[in-house]
Structure 1
């Protein structure tokens, strides 16, 4: 018989925009894994009517609290208003296109124990596109993210990421609200900067591709498009981009 997992102190916060079938798949996966939360909050960023109608049906099926806005206001506003609705001490933040694997519930149990016993950790990260550059072993599954004085890799700013993670629900009180009215990458960037400036502490799951899968279907592809210069493989652009980020990121951390 499949084990049942109960997390009464955790709210599952999912941000959503025009991907209601992806959201349904994510919720169904949590349900199949027998994960039960203190509450579920879905924060929608002004989706189209067809998706809003589907959200209403999903709300009936899954019993989540739906937070809406009359028009698209961007990632920052979507996370802010969703987090404002959370009443539990801890938040599991997931975007709608991420589905947990069978390994995740046990790791969430472990993570919740850690963050309760060691509240100095602000965040426990479960997924990333690339490994965080500076890690100190913590236990068999997790490492602590650190920034040594000699750290030269500008990706150190990604000690915070908006990929799936567990955090204190008071996160906004310590690090500030997410910047609104900016592109999603800029919104995340300034939260990353704040996390480093205010000496945030967190753990990083070593096998970071094992706990969640990001699902981008043809019918509901990713709604975010990066600027061309930031992903170009042109060798000159790669070099210029590296120098620019090295200077800008360190300036923003230490002088702004």
Structure 2
């Protein structure tokens, strides 16, 4: 019988794995277990919790000794902006790998992370490397090894050009706030990320993007631990009329917010 070859250890001492968590402790345990199975080690693992329910906090206590993460707790839910800020503030390494707890890394993720880190170390102008998306970014310049540089101009048609920054899994410099500011803590839902997206563009952020963006990670939610972001009908409907109105609304709003610097 052919014996399985163990996955060689991949060590990233200059990278902190930052995970934001809220009421999905089983998903968090799955993410950490998968990285362990892949033989991936980081300088530190930081779990920034946003006031999860007692049963999830208990689960974090149970798995913390096994995975050795630093747990940043808060007494009550203070919103995504606060959770991201306190998590990033705790990072001590030069680079931050940000992943939400409902993602599962595939084996292909590890070499892609290593290549992204190498490129960021060699090119100080790179602010971020993105590993996942819901759709392909429309303006890309191939740079090799599966990565492309994301291109933005206000003159490019369409509104999807604005999605250069995303809260989907990415590697960034831990000095990110110095260039782009902090996440807004006075906004709810996914608005802190939207404002960061505008700031990233206004401050001429530079990012690379893995073109096979569905190969590296899988996002998995269940009925037991569903997504914690609730979107309304108008944002999700596939109705032709609703989708058309939504398209024009986003085009106008994003161009206005960018030009107004909001």
- Which 5+ residue runs of structure 1 have no aligned equivalent? none
Which residue pairs with 1:242 in the alignment? 247
Q: 1:60 aligns with which of 65, 69, 75?
A: 65
Structure 2: distance between partners of 1:198 and 1:66: 32
- Give deviations 1:8-30, integer Å, cap 9, x for gaps: 00000000000000000000000
Offset at 1:175? Answer: 0.5
Which residue pairs with 2:33 in the alignment? 28
Offset at 1:230? Answer: 1.3
Structure 2: distance between partners of 1:107 and 1:244: 36
Q: How many residues align?
A: 256
Offset at 1:40? Answer: 0.3
Offset at 1:149? Answer: 5.2
Structure 2: distance between partners of 1:24 and 1:245: 36
Which residue pairs with 1:252 in the alignment? 257
Confirm or deny that 1:192 pairs with 2:197.
Answer: yes
Structure 1: distance between partners of 2:238 and 2:222: 25
Structure 2: distance between partners of 1:96 and 1:47: 13
Offset at 1:85? Answer: 0.3
- Give deviations 1:85-133, integer Å, cap 9, x for gaps: 0000000000000111011111111111100000211000000011111
Offset at 1:148? Answer: 3.5
- Give deviations 1:49-89, integer Å, cap 9, x for gaps: 00001111111111110001110011111110000000000
CA distance 1:51–1:194, shift in 2 (3 Å): same
Structure 2: distance between partners of 1:193 and 1:148: 13
Confirm or deny that 1:71 pairs with 2:76.
Answer: yes
Q: 1:231 aligns with which of 199, 220, 236?
A: 236
Which residue pairs with 1:122 in the alignment? 127
CA RMSD of aligned residues (A): 1.1
Structure 1: distance between partners of 2:69 and 2:118: 25
What TM-score does the superposition give when structure 1 sets the normalisation length?
0.97
Would the aligned equivalents of 2:190 and 2:229 in 1 still touch at CA under 8 Å?
Answer: no
Which residue pairs with 2:225 in the alignment? 220
Structure 1: distance between partners of 2:189 and 2:160: 17
Offset at 1:232? Answer: 1.8
Structure 1: distance between partners of 2:145 and 2:66: 38
Structure 2: distance between partners of 1:215 and 1:230: 20
Would the aligned equivalents of 1:132 and 1:158 in 2 still touch at CA under 8 Å?
Answer: yes
- Which 5+ residue runs of structure 2 have no aligned equivalent? 1-5
Offset at 1:240? Answer: 1.8
1:138-153 maps to which residues of 2 (within 5 A)?
Answer: 138-148=143-153, 150-153=155-158
Would the aligned equivalents of 2:154 and 2:255 in 1 still touch at CA under 8 Å?
Answer: no
Which residue pairs with 2:48 in the alignment? 43
- Give the SS at the match of 2:132: coil
Offset at 1:218? Answer: 2.3
- Give the SS at the match of 1:102: coil
Would the aligned equivalents of 1:197 and 1:253 in 2 still touch at CA under 8 Å?
Answer: yes
- Give the SS at the match of 1:238: helix
Structure 1: distance between partners of 2:71 and 2:179: 25
